[in-house]
Amino acid sequence: MQLLHLDSSILGTASVSRSLSSEIVARHQALQPGIRVISRDLAADPALHLSAAHLAAFQGVASEDATINADLVKGNAYMDELIAADILVIGAPMYNFSIPTPLKAWIDRIAVAGKTFRYTATGPEGLLKNKKAFIASSRGSVYTIGSPAAAAEHQESYLIGLLAFLGVIDVTVVRAEGIAFGQEAKEAAVARALENIAAIKA
């Protein structure tokens, strides 16, 4: 059993999504002792933005650029880790209504036709089967359906849509929102999220 743990917050030890994602990992370790955990701190060690040079190298044109070559190695490792994982834990704060760019750069490496999805005569097919995903979501405001800001929500909905496209439909969102509404609201949101994590079953 293997778990891939991604974090993307730039706030280090003050990060809410990091504290939730590490609690989710700890919960899985308690449920399944011996589970192998692979961790990627995407904020500390991001992949590059996609570029023409990267695309050419990815498509097999030999590159002399050591930075591009190192980035290709990193992207291949991202893919191998994802394919090998049974459980995916994604620490995902909302930044400007969406996800942090290093998490998007990770997605740009793993959303690859023929590897994680393919197009068929009847439409796209996700190739990642039998995986569970947990999204540790944190955001300053409130975006739950029915709230005035719901239309600006492109963080959880984006990740859920992407995962479904890749074939991962067993997705649990652990959310702490309203983090910017004061200390009391923040503590209540985090406490609710921790209760939800404690209730995760194998």
- Residue 8 contacts residue 92 (beta carbons within 8 Å): yes
- Residue 141 contacts residue 149 (beta carbons within 8 Å): yes
CA distances from 89 to 27, 42, 71, 119, 196 (A): 11, 13, 23, 26, 14
Query: Which tokens belong to 172?
Result: 């649990």
| Span near ligand FMN by CB under 6 A; candidates 45-53, 87-95, 108-116, 118-126 | 87-95
| Span near ligand FMN by CB under 6 A; candidates 15-23, 45-53, 161-169, 189-197 | 15-23
Could you say which of 71, 138, 163, 193 contacts ligand FMN (CB under 6 A)?
Answer: 138
Nearer to ligand FMN, 9 or 116 (CB): 9
Segments in 34-126 forming alpha helices (H):
52-58, 66-84, 101-110
Could you say which of 4, 72, 89, 94 contacts ligand FMN (CB under 6 A)?
Answer: 94
Cβ 80 to ligand FMN, closest distance in Å? Answer: 26
172 part of the interface to ligand FMN, by CB under 6 A: no
Query: Which tokens belong to 168?
Result: 């991962």
15 part of the interface to ligand FMN, by CB under 6 A: yes
Site residues, ligand FMN (CB under 6 A): 9, 11, 15-18, 93-97, 138-141, 179-180
